[in-house]
Amino acid sequence: MPLPLQGLSAIVTGAGRGLGRAEALELARLGAAVVVNDYGQAGRDGSGEASAGPAEEVAAEIRAAGGAALAHTGDVSDFRQAGELVGSAVAAFGKLDILVNNAGILRDRMVFSMAEEEWDAVLRVHLKGHFNTTRFAAAHWRERSKRAGEPVFGRIVNTSSEAFLAGSAGQPNYAAAKGGIVGLTTSTALALGKYGVTANAICPRARTRMTEDVFAGVEHASGNGLDPLAPEHVAPLVGYLASPAAARVNGQLLVVHGGMVAVVERPRVAAKFDSKQDTFTYDELEAVLGPYYGDRPAGETFAAAEVLGLKRG
């Protein structure tokens, strides 16, 4: 019986460590040939010299298990290098079928003390990095579809975060980037559906180099059990979304961790008020919105994670 991703090729960005590594290994286990992309910097803030080591190690691990893989150490936040990444997959495997965008960095700071460079760096790697690879992959699929005269197979899995859903006080840059990724995902899903391509986003919760502070107080599983926050809990969902079986899943946002997957609904209107005249006056707005918010504690914000029955990670 053929594997679900047999004959397909994939790119996974940020795949030298953590979530990306687990995702690359899972796609390979399901039969895909994988381009393992990682810029290889030592610091989770994007500091340190670039290194081929992390990407090469994961690619070698895939090959040792009988799979096909090559390493790519380009910076996905650079438009040209992102194009070269997609081109390397096409050159090596004849086509690209799956794109998993995972690469990211952190520059945590409260909004009142964040430097411009800290904002720009995180938006560049996360949001622009997602756009760069998506742009070149989308062009590849559109060209193939037009040449074939019919839809082709294409899958995009993007990485958002619960920081976007519920807010994260010390991560305004990260939360904004992850929210932007959801917008990019839904726009891409609408634009590429007619070519046979789906685009979805996940909000994973996992113990990685980037989240070591967040989950510092959360105990690992005891005995031989898998840590509830292990990246291996996230990877199977990525494998599914990348497969032919997920053809009807498009433009969706899913939260995943520790043996749980939650499908997030698009925002719905919670309340609606109509003016009794041509337009609202200040007094009229105060009269309708004041009582609506009056029973809530001052400063309370919407927390989508609570709607999901989750605590923010």
214: in domain = yes
Paired sense of beta strands 260-264 and 253-257, if any: antiparallel
163: in domain = yes
Please report, in tens digits, the pLDDT of each residue of the chain (313 residues total).
899 999 999 999 999 999 999 999 999 999 999 999 999 765 556 666 767 789 999 999 999 999 999 999 999 999 999 999 999 999 999 999 999 999 999 998 999 999 999 999 999 999 999 999 999 999 999 999 999 999 999 999 999 999 888 888 899 999 999 999 999 999 999 999 999 999 999 999 866 555 555 544 555 554 456 777 788 999 999 999 999 999 999 999 999 998 899 999 988 999 999 999 999 999 999 999 999 988 666 655 554 444 444 443 3
| Confidence at residue 311, expressed as pLDDT on a 0 to 100 scale | 43
| Confidence at residue 174, expressed as pLDDT on a 0 to 100 scale | 95
274: in domain = no
| Confidence at residue 44, expressed as pLDDT on a 0 to 100 scale | 59
* Domain that residue 230 falls in: 9-264
| Confidence at residue 212, expressed as pLDDT on a 0 to 100 scale | 54
| Confidence at residue 41, expressed as pLDDT on a 0 to 100 scale | 63
| Confidence at residue 11, expressed as pLDDT on a 0 to 100 scale | 98
Q: Give the separation between CA 313 and CA 214, rounded to whole angstroms.
A: 7
Q: Give the separation between CA 301 and CA 313, rounded to whole angstroms.
A: 17
Radius of gyration of the chain (CA): 21
User: Where residue 230 sits, what CATH number does that domain have?
Assistant: 3.40.50.720
299: in domain = no
Helix (H) or strand (E) holding 294: helix 282-294
Question: Which residues are paired to 34 by β-bridges?
Answer: 10, 69
DSSP secondary structure, 95-144, as one string: S--EEE----------TTT--HHHHHHHHIIIIIHHHHHHHHHHHHHHHH
Say how many domains are in the chain: 1
306: in domain = no
List residues with catalytic annotation: 161, 174, 178
| Confidence at residue 297, expressed as pLDDT on a 0 to 100 scale | 63
Helix, strand, coil abundance in the chain, percent, nearest 5: 45, 15, 45
| Confidence at residue 40, expressed as pLDDT on a 0 to 100 scale | 72
| Confidence at residue 48, expressed as pLDDT on a 0 to 100 scale | 61
291: in domain = no
Nearest to 181 by CA among 119, 236, 134, 141: 134
Confidence (pTM): 0.88
Nearest to 208 by CA among 230, 178, 239: 230
96: in domain = yes
| Confidence at residue 307, expressed as pLDDT on a 0 to 100 scale | 42
| Confidence at residue 1, expressed as pLDDT on a 0 to 100 scale | 84
Instruction: Give me the amino acid identity at 89.
Output: A
Burial 81-99 (b: 16+ CB within 10 A, else e): bbbebbebbbeebeebbbb
251: in domain = yes
